[in-house]
Structure 1
Amino acid sequence: MPETVKTSGLRSISVSGRMRILSKTGIMNKGIIDATGSQNGGMEMTIKTTTETTATPLQNKLEGLDNFVTNQLEQWKGVGTAVAVIHKDQVIWSKGYGYRDLEKKLKVTSDTLFAIGSSTKTFTATAAAQLVDEGLLDWDQPVNSYLQDFQMFDPVTTDRLTMRDMLCHRSGLPRHEMVWYNSPRSREELVHSLRYLEPNHNFRSKWQYQNLMYMTAGYLIGHLKGTSWEQVVQDQLLTPLGMNSSLFTVQEMQEQADYALPYMDQEGQNVSIPFRVIDTIGPAGSINSNLKDMTAWLQLQVQRGKWQDKALVSTGQMAEIHRPQMISDSPFHSKELPISTYGLGWMIEPYRGHAMIHHGGAIDGFASQVAFLPDEQIGIVVLSNTNGSVIPYTVAFYIMDCVLGLEPKDWTSTLLKLMGQGEQEAEQPAQKQLEETLAKGEPQVEEETKPEKTSAVLPLDAPASTYTGIYQHPGYGELLVHETDQGLQTRFNNIDMPMQYVGKHTFSVSLVLFGLHMDFTFEVNEDQPVPAASVSAPLVPEANANPIVFTRI
């Protein structure tokens, strides 16, 4: 991307989820660059060498990377980011930029831990490949042959759903994110709830990103090994790879010395927000890691399952997870990215004529991109502590252009023009439209949710007691409607949502985590003054999805 692009007024775009971009030589002979940088470009660099400090040809191709990353932080108003590049079994670039703690001015380093969000899915798929190698799992054996009580909404999917189906997102289920988001239920309880979740497409007919399926895949992996998904990943991947800093919970991360705080843009200012606990959905997105660990992960991938001359995964099974399984959606369809496919835990797409395999991630206050070029055996990881930041993707693309010897494409302008937004504009409506276009992963939540204001507040058409009470859906759980000093309020999964009456027993409810303003409609018998029997809520925004009906209990 040309450094002359004038977008310094841009704010970070808060993207509610996975933004899908297509996704040994070394300095000083196995040396690693470890550096931190200020948001204004001042670099503090420590070079650890074992012999010499002569830059390699690949590193020479990245001579503009420092300036580019610093400019991206300024243009998109990012807080901090960490960038690493590997070639075969060597780390050729590993640096931190900006701040892990903006208030204390603590800089990002190669050791700084970030939540990697849906990039976790690559670990779940690789662990499954190991179980196939061990003879414990068959990609195409129905899940209910391993989990006897397993059941989906319809009998066909129940009898035929496999690990392959779950990992390539073709179950027929829409996202159903509110089932798990902030839910107090256990992983096992959420797996049980799948039988009550209605699909919106036929089984295996369409690619639809689905976190619950990855949670179920992780649950099955743990079941087959007689332990948990976390323990399997720890014992069979993290420990053998020396990924000793990587953790499964944000609680553990905050006990470490060097971790990034999550930030989001609020009225033009980066504000620290609470960490989002997603332990239950862990196999879909809970890993926290740093550059030093993630470079080992990339080395395993580019070397097709080998690590330090030891095969952790067979070449055949690595090829299986890196092979396209389904045509997927892409918000960046262009001549550079002409087609998008999904493998098992990885996106597989051609980037400017070169094979590219990658997976992004996003969770409250964090964004990541993990990518590699299999033919060139080059891997890239970019981590960010700015909510929904596009920086991991623009930086990854820039690196690919450099190492491939291509003229860098101006992805900053491309992202803006994608939504018909001019280079000099960064208004919230266009940002919101871009969010909705790119949203493919974990949702982000602001701590307060407020309904859209109207010119007048309508009086209720029935006493408040008609609506208050506890309602239940067998898959979603309980929804509480109660009175507060400010009026009626809904509580679901410990998330409070104010309600604004709009008439005909319907309330506007603001759900910021999905950027939605939904109409909750109560079923009321007009002839009898009795409490509403149910409330219908459009919690599944995908096309063809029916509203979720909660029945009074």
Structure 2
Amino acid sequence: MPAGIERLASEYIQARMSATRTPGVSVSLQRDGEPLLQRGYGYRCLEKGLPATAETVYGIASISKTITAVAVMQLVEKGLLSLDDPAEKYLPIELRVRSEPVRIWHLLSHTSGIPALGYAEALVTGYMGLGDAWLAFSDPRDVLAWLERGARHWALARPGERFFYLNEGYVALGVIVERLSGLRFAEYVRRHIAGPLGMRSTTFDHQEAFASPLLATPYDASQRPPRPARVPTGIAADGGGWSTVVDLARLMAALAGSGRLDGVEILSRSSVEEMERPRAELPAQLFGGDSYGLGVLVYPGFPGGRLVGHSGSLMVYTGFAGYVREKGVSVAVLANADPGAPQIAMSLAAAAAGADPWSLPFNVADRVLGLLEGVYTGFMGTVRVRVERVGDALLLESVEPPGRREVLFPERLDPVEPVFLSARAGKRLRVVFRVDAEKGVVELLYDRYRLVKAVEPGGVIAG
């Protein structure tokens, strides 16, 4: 194992776990089929003092969608359906948007034209007691009725026109797999995906997962200390999978191998290429050109090469699994809270692919925004402001004279001269910071003022 990657992983993961109060994280990182890192950090169960390992079982949330997409593509290869088939052909509901049929590929690529209907959000929120929303869906048939209603009354675009992430569409795909295969979805995955690939701990049967002695306890990390939480069992093919980083690494390695791993073929090369072909640009861009294929996110601008994979979040379980085929890299990260699993996975994948993980946009943002927090003072202490990070923005609050509060949104997160924008009375205000690392000084040019961040003795930046 390269010492640099091991050190990066330990420092980076522990810092994120500390900042987010995450009990446990598990990681599997491979290059050219050889493990670079395969271990756990922290605890799978705080109450019993059980450590997290590479074999710890977690809820994988929307990483399940990649497995569902593989199942659908297997049925396509068997000639049981076509990607261009209307989904309603295999469902007990009418699924049309603006009189046009929603097709299988529309559901796989989240391009049905139906904005998110929020069934999973309401189910998780209500089940965990985090809000007032309540949907007691325990059967995919209830979600199908919800989807049909949404298609009639909530659709905003014609099928294929734009991206709207739609969990309900993947529930429908799971039902289609069951109807065409004659198997329960959990059994289909076991026989045709998990079993052949040797994914021994992967299941869509929540009772099987709950019975595992290696199951990670899910935690509400907003509590102090983090408190055990419940997870709903009504989530299906869209996010109801359970797995380990070892298992997910095998799945990613199979997809990176164009559908083959250790002599076992779960998909043809052409089917994998079909999954990876971008169908819709993502609304939120990280690297530029970020898109969704069929059950996978595609990042062609990732510094280490094209990254393909999927993230997942149930709030109390989070993760990311992906691969960079041209560099032979595959990665899987799972956690029992929310430490930023995609950021961890991408940073490790970048390092393994020979790129600088600190150049990734979220790492740049963390470094720059953290540096800018603190108290800034004007000439002879006449004016003082406090700057605090709020997400990827800054909150500026006037201390002397008191009263003014403004949100600063990043325009350019340059490490030397970051620039932010604020709005006041209909006007746009540019706010500029200047970082002098040698002198240990950060200046703030704000409106009419020049302010300087307080420094500790010895020139170390405070804050």
TM-score, normalising length from structure 1?
0.61
C-alpha deviation, 1:397, in angstroms: 2.3
Q: Is the 8 A contact 1:88 1:302 kept in 2?
A: no
Partner of 2:68: 124
User: Structure 1 residues 421 and 224 mapped into 2: Cα distance closer, same or farther (>3 Å)?
Assistant: farther
Residue in structure 2 matching 1:308, options 236, 258, 262:
262
Partner of 1:150: 93
Tell me the SS of whatever aligns to 1:383.
strand
C-alpha deviation, 1:250, in angstroms: 3.8
Tell me the SS of whatever aligns to 1:285.
coil
Tell me the SS of whatever aligns to 1:313.
coil
Which amino acid is 1:131 matched to? L
Percent pairwise identity: 22
Partner of 2:441: none
Runs of at least 5 residues in structure 1 that lack an aligned partner in the other structure: 1-54, 435-553
Q: Distance in 1 between matches of 2:58 and 2:230?
A: 14
Asked if 1:186 is matched to 2:139, the reply is yes
Asked if 1:220 is matched to 2:180, the reply is no
For residues 11-64 of structure 1, what are the alpha-carbon distances to aligned partners after superposition, in whole Å with 9 as ceiling and x for unaligned?
xxxxxxxxxxxxxxxxxxxxxxxxxxxxxxxxxxxxxxxxxxxx5xx6765453
Partner of 1:240: 196
C-alpha deviation, 1:77, in angstroms: 2.4
C-alpha deviation, 1:352, in angstroms: 2.1
User: Structure 1 residues 217 and 95 mapped into 2: Cα distance closer, same or farther (>3 Å)?
Assistant: same
Tell me the SS of whatever aligns to 1:116.
strand
C-alpha deviation, 1:419, in angstroms: 8.9
Partner of 1:399: 348
Tell me the SS of whatever aligns to 1:223.
helix
Q: Is the 8 A contact 1:276 1:364 kept in 2?
A: no
Tell me the SS of whatever aligns to 1:296.
helix
User: Structure 1 residues 312 and 408 mapped into 2: Cα distance closer, same or farther (>3 Å)?
Assistant: closer
Residue in structure 2 matching 1:74, options 14, 18, 37:
18
User: Structure 1 residues 253 and 168 mapped into 2: Cα distance closer, same or farther (>3 Å)?
Assistant: same
For residues 197-221 of structure 1, what are the alpha-carbon distances to aligned partners after superposition, in whole Å with 9 as ceiling and x for unaligned?
1234212221010000000011111
User: Structure 1 residues 59 and 146 mapped into 2: Cα distance closer, same or farther (>3 Å)?
Assistant: farther
Q: Is the 8 A contact 1:165 1:171 kept in 2?
A: yes
Which amino acid is 1:394 matched to? Q
Q: Distance in 2 between matches of 1:314 and 1:128?
A: 13
Q: Distance in 2 between matches of 1:231 and 1:199?
A: 33
Q: Distance in 1 between matches of 2:155 and 2:368?
A: 28
C-alpha deviation, 1:320, in angstroms: 0.5
Partner of 1:430: 390
User: Structure 1 residues 310 and 276 mapped into 2: Cα distance closer, same or farther (>3 Å)?
Assistant: same
Q: Is the 8 A contact 2:304 2:349 kept in 1?
A: no
For residues 338-396 of structure 1, what are the alpha-carbon distances to aligned partners after superposition, in whole Å with 9 as ceiling and x for unaligned?
2210000000012126211121001141100111102112100000101x331x12221
Q: Is the 8 A contact 2:116 2:166 kept in 1?
A: yes
Residue in structure 2 matching 1:168, options 109, 123, 132:
109
Q: Distance in 2 between matches of 1:405 and 1:353?
A: 6
Q: After TM superposition, list the pairs within 5 Å mapping 1:84-483 onto structure 2.
A: 84-147=28-91, 149-152=92-95, 154=97, 156-157=99-100, 160-178=101-119, 181=123, 182-197=135-150, 198-203=153-158, 204-278=160-234, 281-330=235-284, 332-333=285-286, 337-349=287-299, 350-352=301-303, 354-386=305-337, 388-390=338-340, 392-409=341-358, 414=364, 422=372, 430-431=390-391
Q: Distance in 2 between matches of 1:111 and 1:275?
A: 20
C-alpha deviation, 1:408, in angstroms: 2.5
Q: Distance in 1 between matches of 2:368 and 2:280?
A: 24
Q: Is the 8 A contact 1:116 1:366 kept in 2?
A: yes
C-alpha deviation, 1:105, in angstroms: 1.7
Q: Is the 8 A contact 2:57 2:214 kept in 1?
A: yes
Q: Is the 8 A contact 1:86 1:298 kept in 2?
A: no
TM-score, normalising length from structure 2?
0.72
User: Structure 1 residues 409 and 229 mapped into 2: Cα distance closer, same or farther (>3 Å)?
Assistant: same
User: Structure 1 residues 305 and 265 mapped into 2: Cα distance closer, same or farther (>3 Å)?
Assistant: same
Q: Considering only aligned residues, what root-mean-square deviation do their CA atoms show, in Å? A: 2.9
User: Structure 1 residues 238 and 108 mapped into 2: Cα distance closer, same or farther (>3 Å)?
Assistant: same
Q: Is the 8 A contact 1:170 1:205 kept in 2?
A: yes
Q: Distance in 2 between matches of 1:155 and 1:277?
A: 33
Which amino acid is 1:199 matched to? W
Q: Distance in 2 between matches of 1:186 and 1:404?
A: 42
Q: Distance in 1 between matches of 2:348 and 2:304?
A: 15
Indicate the structure with greater helix content.
Answer: 2
Q: After TM superposition, list the pairs within 5 Å mapping 1:23-42 onto structure 2.
A: none
Partner of 1:437: none
Q: Is the 8 A contact 2:206 2:233 kept in 1?
A: yes
Q: Distance in 1 between matches of 2:205 and 2:90?
A: 27
Stretch deviating more after TM superposition (246-255 or 73-82): 246-255
Q: Is the 8 A contact 2:43 2:50 kept in 1?
A: yes
C-alpha deviation, 1:185, in angstroms: 5.0
For residues 53-104 of structure 1, what are the alpha-carbon distances to aligned partners after superposition, in whole Å with 9 as ceiling and x for unaligned?
xx5xx67654532233223322332211001012343333210000111122
Q: Is the 8 A contact 1:191 1:216 kept in 2?
A: yes
C-alpha deviation, 1:129, in angstroms: 1.0
User: Structure 1 residues 156 and 264 mapped into 2: Cα distance closer, same or farther (>3 Å)?
Assistant: same
C-alpha deviation, 1:106, in angstroms: 1.1
Runs of at least 5 residues in structure 2 that lack an aligned partner in the other structure: 124-134, 376-386, 395-463
Stretch deviating more after TM superposition (396-405 or 253-262): 396-405
Equivalenced residue count is 367
Q: Is the 8 A contact 1:260 1:385 kept in 2?
A: yes
